[in-house]
């Protein structure tokens, strides 16, 4: 999966016209000092790593002068989260924030829709907001070929209570996100937080961008991003050797699916229902016993190295792949690996009835619809 570092995502934002704070990536202390001097203190030093929880890990710091910068930057550059290494640091001008929002758009390959999720509560886990105050979260779906204009963007913005110049700025950002999804081969755009500054500017303070892996070859910018990466997560390297797209996340619900859009839709739906995804894993085409074995071994390792995985959600749309073959592979590999956590399996497609019968016999939670399967996985995780 083409998950970008924050600064890479912000380069994409800049090309799309989404407003940002002044900043520049630095690969060493000398570059950090030069950038901070150009921007003027205070600045924010943000470790660039393909993992959440940077603030809690001490990898994001506001510094008020060069002395603090010299003290903190080497520590951030040497930082790790679960064996993943900081790649470099983003130095940005510190901002005076009046309010923080959450906004995201993602492409669901299963429904062929772009889904917007927005909340007046930003800067914290959207999962927690959805669970505690669901009325503060707005979700809208639009067909991929829908003519999304300022009208729809304005309606979305107004639904969250915005008006005046803030409404105009937020509307403009939504339209630019839509356009970027279509023109830049994006699967996900998440801004958390999208900040309203003291002077009324609406600015993207963070970026989470996922690009379509299949489009990297035709985009020189994306190729440059990947060429400069420092290999950092042994599990990602292992997954790549299996030809499996994998990204480690922070939660307790393991995920396996086929198709990047379907897996991203699963991740977002888990969050919408108040759960916490532990990983992104796209097993790709086919679901042979070997591919399922490789995928489950990766998810098992996630639980062993980090927070325990309380439930495993397998979401498979069978086209050419037969559902009974998938079901047999899941049952066989679960026993082979000795996995004791509950399984929730959603199967739809060719030989669906036969596959469901196999799963029922094995005592697994079996579903043909995505929403009830995700809800069940979240319920199991919360009961632990």
**Active site amino acids:** 102, 190
Compute, in degrees rounded to 10, the torsion defined by CA atoms 120, 125, 127, 131. Answer: -60
User: Residues 178, 179, 182, CA angle at the centre, nearest 5°?
Assistant: 95
Alpha-carbon distance of 274 to 170, in angstroms, equals: 26
Q: Are strands 113-119 and 97-108 parallel, antiparallel or unpaired?
A: antiparallel
User: Of 98, 100, 109, 28, which Cα lies nearest the Cα of 69?
Assistant: 28
**Residues in a beta bridge with 316:** 347
Can you list the positions of beta strands (E) in the chain?
2-3, 23-26, 43-48, 60-63, 80-81, 84-85, 88-93, 97-108, 113-119, 137-143, 186-197, 202-204, 208-211, 245-248, 253-257, 279-282, 311-318, 343-349, 365-367
Q: Do 276 and 308 contact (CB within 8 A), yes or no? A: no
Query: Distance between CA 167 and CA 157 in Å, rounded?
Result: 6
């Amino acid at each position: 999966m083409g998950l970008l570092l924050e600064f890479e995502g912000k380069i994409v934002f800049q090309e799309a016209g989404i407003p940002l704070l002044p900043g520049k990536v630095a690969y060493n202390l000398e570059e950090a000092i030069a950038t901070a001097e150009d921007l003027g203190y205070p600045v924010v030093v943000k470790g660039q790593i393909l993992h959440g929880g940077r603030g809690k890990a001490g990898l994001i710091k506001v510094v008020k002068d060069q002395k603090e910068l010299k003290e903190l930057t080497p520590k951030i550059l040497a930082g790790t989260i679960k064996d993943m290494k900081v790649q470099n640091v983003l130095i940005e001008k510190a901002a005076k924030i009046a309010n923080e929002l959450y906004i995201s758009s993602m492409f669901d390959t299963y429904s062929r829709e772009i889904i917007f999720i927005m909340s007046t509560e930003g800067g914290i886990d959207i999962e927690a907001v959805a669970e505690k105050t669901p009325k503060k979260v707005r979700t809208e779906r639009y067909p991929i070929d829908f003519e999304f204009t300022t009208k729809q963007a304005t309606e979305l913005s107004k639904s969250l209570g915005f008006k005046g110049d803030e409404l105009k700025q937020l509307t403009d950002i939504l339209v630019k996100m839509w356009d970027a999804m279509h023109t830049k081969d994006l699967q996900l755009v998440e801004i958390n937080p999208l900040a309203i500054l003291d002077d009324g500017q609406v600015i993207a303070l963070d970026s989470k961008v996922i690009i379509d892996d299949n489009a990297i070859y035709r985009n020189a910018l994306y190729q440059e991003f990947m060429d400069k990466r420092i290999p950092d997560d042994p599990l990602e390297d292992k997954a790549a050797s299996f030809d499996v797209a994998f990204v480690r996340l922070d939660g307790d619900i393991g995920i396996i699916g086929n198709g990047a859009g379907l897996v991203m839709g699963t991740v977002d739906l888990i969050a919408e229902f108040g759960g916490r995804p532990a990983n992104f894993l796209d097993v790709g085409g086919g679901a042979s016993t070997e591919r399922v074995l490789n995928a489950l071994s990766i998810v098992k390792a996630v639980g062993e190295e980090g927070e325990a995985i309380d439930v495993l959600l397998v979401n498979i749309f069978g086209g050419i792949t037969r559902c009974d073959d998938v079901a047999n592979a899941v049952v066989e590999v679960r026993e082979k690996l000795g996995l004791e956590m509950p399984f929730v399996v959603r199967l739809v497609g060719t030989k669906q009835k036969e596959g469901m019968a196999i799963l029922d016999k094995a005592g697994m939670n079996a579903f043909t619809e995505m929403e009830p399967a995700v809800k069940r996985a979240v319920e199991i995780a919360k009961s632990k």
